[in-house]
Amino acid sequence: MSTTYNPSESFREAASYLSKASSLSSVSNATKLELYAIFKYLMVSSTPNVPKPSIFDFTGKAKWEAWQTAGKTYQDPSDAEKRYLEIARSLGWVEEDIWDKSDDEGESRKPKREGGAMGRTTSTMTMEDDKGSSSALSNLAVAGDLSAMLAYFHGQPDADVNARDENGYTPLHLAADRGHLEVVDILLKRGANPEIKDPDEFTAKELAEIAGHTGIAALLSDTQNASP
């Protein structure tokens, strides 16, 4: 049954924030699955409206079961929304007016924070700060900044594309999780290994599937199938 619940504007803002938040790279896939399940519960239906995936579709099965669990856990959709916002706040989302009205009457409203509605993004990082380090490449993967990544590889042709960050994720994990298709493609062409698993035993393809990035999942699947 489709949901008739109308989530608040705060929920929509939090969902938008989480779709781009770099802080998601450090959370467990259990938390990501919970966010996915609550989102589906509120925006699609209270229980899965598609058949349960086969036992061999591990990621699809995990997503389906998480969605079903959300339906059993929350009788009141507002409780599910509160939980979603609670997780979003723990990951850096702040519910506030991003506009600062000028004291001068008639003057246009101006943003309070730099870097857009979400604040400063990782794509504004300076390459000099982490030149040659795995953290620089990881930050570019999170930001999805293709031009900066190409420039990075031009200056660092021997960079280790499979180096893990402090949380145990490779640049390919991060780009696949964020939905940056072109960045994933470049990383694969530079030798990124799609078989490497993250700390929760998920490959980049599985992370893309959990996040709903079907195009990236297909690309990674084709790459894995083409490997000797």
At residue 190, the pLDDT reads 94
Alpha carbons 158 and 139: distance in angstroms, whole number: 18
Residue with tokens 């959709």: 77
At residue 196, the pLDDT reads 95
pLDDT in tens, 197-207: 988 888 999 88
For residue 46, the 8-state DSSP code is: S
pLDDT in tens, 136-194: 888 889 888 888 899 989 988 899 999 998 878 899 999 998 899 999 999 999 999 99
Which fold does the domain 9-90 belong to in CATH? Answer: Acyl-CoA Binding Protein (1.20.80)
Alpha carbons 162 and 18: distance in angstroms, whole number: 25
Alpha carbons 52 and 208: distance in angstroms, whole number: 19
The CA–CA distances, whole Å, from 228 to 114, 150, 173, 217, 224 equal: 47, 27, 22, 19, 9
> CA 151, 127, 164, 201: dihedral to nearest 10 degrees?
-70
What average pLDDT does the segment 101-128 reach? Answer: 33
Alpha carbons 48 and 13: distance in angstroms, whole number: 24
Q: Pick 161 or 49 by higher pLDDT.
A: 161
At residue 3, the pLDDT reads 56
Which pTM does this prediction carry? 0.48
**CB distance 47 to 68 below 8 Å:** yes
> CA 120, 190, 25, 70: dihedral to nearest 10 degrees?
120
Alpha carbons 33 and 169: distance in angstroms, whole number: 17
Residue 99: phi and psi, rounded to 5, are -105, 140
Side-chain-side CA neighbours of residue 162 (13 Å): 10
pLDDT in tens, 3-48: 567 889 999 888 888 877 777 777 888 888 999 899 889 988 898 8
Give me the chain's average pLDDT, please.
78
Q: How many residues are given for the chain?
A: 228
Alpha carbons 30 and 36: distance in angstroms, whole number: 10
Extents of the domains making up the chain: 9-90, 121-226
Alpha carbons 123 and 139: distance in angstroms, whole number: 7
Confidence band for 227, pLDDT divided at 50, 70 and 90: low
pLDDT in tens, 57-88: 777 888 899 999 999 999 999 999 999 999 99
| Homologous superfamily, domain 121-226 | Ankyrin repeat-containing domain (1.25.40.20)
